[in-house]
Amino acid sequence: MEIDLQCSRCRLSETRIQVVPPSGDLRSPVAFVGEGPGEKEDQKGMPFIGRAGKMLDRLLREEGLARERIMITNTVKCRPPENRRPLPDETCACFPYLEQELVDKLLIVAMGRTACENLLGRAVKVGQEANTMASVQLMGREKTVLLTYHPSACLYNLKAREGLQASIRLVRERFF
Ligand code: URA
């Protein structure tokens, strides 16, 4: 389903400033998926431009992968109030947009528990499963998902930072 900038499929539409669509190269073979927009993203309409975004930028730069070469998106396109985790009915309402964004990708990098669980449809312990691959069906097509840490975890956790860095390295070596 094409993203609707006036979307009102769930209650997040009542509190958001704007819908935050994917950014970067929309035709990239690789998509990075986060949780949902924060305050800065809601203000500017771009994903990952706040503190977590700066961390992601830094790790991408350190691994020599230009942000412009990948697509970056979120599980939900509207900011959850107080930056709480999106609720199951909200991720469910947004899933058709996500599925459409990801259906042509060769690799989907799911960053953090929300993205991993939403795409895999099961509970995930990122600390145990980071840098493993899983197969999922999106719109009847088999897709490969790389599970990894969310950039915000990397702000205070060295294991997370090294884990996300390793994921980015794998992406650069295999795809760019
Ligand atoms: N965290 C996310 O998951 N997504 C963003 O866009 C920003 C912070």
Kindly state the average pLDDT of the residues 19-43: 98
CB contact at 8 A, 80 and 12: yes
Q: How confident is the model over 127-166, as pLDDT tens digits?
A: 999 999 999 999 999 999 999 999 999 999 999 999 999 9
Let me know if residue 59 belongs to a domain. Answer: yes
What's the CATH code of the domain at 47? 3.40.470.10
> How many whole angstroms separate alpha carbon 137 and alpha carbon 175?
21
Q: How far is the CA of 74 from the centre of ligand 1 (A)?
A: 7
CB contact at 8 A, 67 and 60: yes
* Residue whose C-alpha is closest to residue 152's, from 53, 67, 79: 53
Q: Percentage of residues in the chain with pLDDT exceeding 70?
A: 100
Residue type, 157: N
Give the model's pLDDT for residue 80.
98
Atom 7 of ligand 1 has which residue's CA nearest to it? 48
Let me know if residue 117 belongs to a domain. Answer: yes
Total domain count for the chain?
1
CB contact at 8 A, 82 and 63: no
Let me know if residue 104 belongs to a domain. Answer: yes
Calculate the dihedral angle through the C-alpha atoms of 156, 159, 162, 165, rounding to the nearest 10 degrees: -70
Give the model's pLDDT for residue 2.
86
Let me know if residue 156 belongs to a domain. Answer: yes
* Residue whose C-alpha is closest to residue 145's, from 130, 134, 156: 134
Let me know if residue 152 belongs to a domain. Answer: yes
Residue 109: left (phi > 0), alpha (psi -120 to 50), or beta? Answer: beta
Q: How confident is the model over 81-95, as pLDDT tens digits?
A: 999 999 999 999 999
Kindly state the average pLDDT of the residues 18-37: 98
Kindly state the average pLDDT of the residues 15-37: 98
Give the model's pLDDT for residue 143.
98
Give the model's pLDDT for residue 1.
83
> How many whole angstroms separate alpha carbon 106 and alpha carbon 171?
11
Asked whether 32 lines ligand 1 (CB < 6 A), one says no
Asked whether 52 lines ligand 1 (CB < 6 A), one says yes
Asked whether 151 lines ligand 1 (CB < 6 A), one says no
Kindly state the average pLDDT of the residues 92-120: 98
Provide the residue range defining the domain that includes 55: 11-175
> How many whole angstroms separate alpha carbon 57 and alpha carbon 48?
9
Let me know if residue 4 belongs to a domain. Answer: no
Asked whether 36 lines ligand 1 (CB < 6 A), one says yes
The pTM for the full model equals: 0.98
Q: How confident is the model over 42-90, as pLDDT tens digits?
A: 999 999 999 999 999 999 999 999 999 999 999 999 999 999 999 999 9
Give the model's pLDDT for residue 116.
98
Let me know if residue 16 belongs to a domain. Answer: yes
Let me know if residue 169 belongs to a domain. Answer: yes
Helix (H, G, I), strand (E, B) or coil at 48: coil
Q: At 30, list the tokens.
A: 């690789």
What b/e readout covers 30-45, taking b as 16+ CB neighbours within 10 angstroms? bbbbbbbbbebbbeee
Asked whether 41 lines ligand 1 (CB < 6 A), one says yes
